[in-house]
Structure 1
């Protein structure tokens, strides 16, 4: 399971989704308050509450996908759904950052906004490795 390269990519994706959201901030306002993904659960806005939930869902899907190593097709589909979740998350983050008027609430964007892009990249190369394994198994089956 861990000896496969896609498992390493999936573990890195789950670390980015769940672990790094606690390290890197999403944005800071002009008062100097920094906002992390998990601190958005205390906000009143529904869009802001969805952001940490989608980060956690993405991390859980990556971890579940690591343990589906015997069912490569299901693992591939779950990774594609995870990519979709991360694109939705990225869209919500960009929407929220662009809908606010200028410097009134957000004065500095953090690196945490780019974490879904990193996760999508890791999931895409994991899917490429899964496809390579599946093709290898199919070619061996043809020889029998």
Structure 2
């Protein structure tokens, strides 16, 4: 049952994690150069891992508990990525030289929102199946 609402949410989260990181810069360096996620392998790897987890979760629709667990793992991964961004922004040498934070720093937050919505829909489906099993 790929046509469920959580599939849409997971596709949006995967698109944010895999596609928008190449469009929006993370921040502007002190010399005016825009820094994107592909400039740092750690950020690129975490973003792509998040997108991969979302795509794997889409195709685990027959096992809702596993799908729910992968969603939670993906949310934790996005919080780790957000933590790296906050750490980088707050402890960067010459922090005052980072004049402008880009939209890319907030992409994990948007992804977390869609992953939480997907997990809510997965939980709702699981509760529905449990209630039907009780009636049998």
The answer, yes or no, to whether TM exceeds 0.5 is yes
What secondary structure, in the 3-state scheme, does the structure 2 residue paired with 1:16 have?
helix
State whether structure 2 residue 103 is matched by structure 1 residue 111: yes
Q: Give the alignment's TM-score, normalised by structure 2.
A: 0.95
Runs of 4+ in 1 over 3 A off after TM superposition: none
Q: Deviations over 1:2-39 (max 9, x none)?
A: 31000000000000001000010000123221011012
Aligned-pair Cα RMSD in Å: 1.0
Partner of 2:4: 4
Which ranges of structure 2 fall in alignment gaps of 5 or more residues?
none
Partner of 2:37: 37
Which ranges of structure 1 fall in alignment gaps of 5 or more residues?
42-49
Kindly indicate whether the alpha-carbon contact (under 8 Å) linking 2:29 and 2:99 is maintained by their aligned counterparts in 1.
Answer: yes
Quote the Cα distance in structure 1 between the aligned partners of 2:88 and 2:30.
16
State whether structure 2 residue 78 is matched by structure 1 residue 82: no
State whether structure 2 residue 121 is matched by structure 1 residue 129: yes
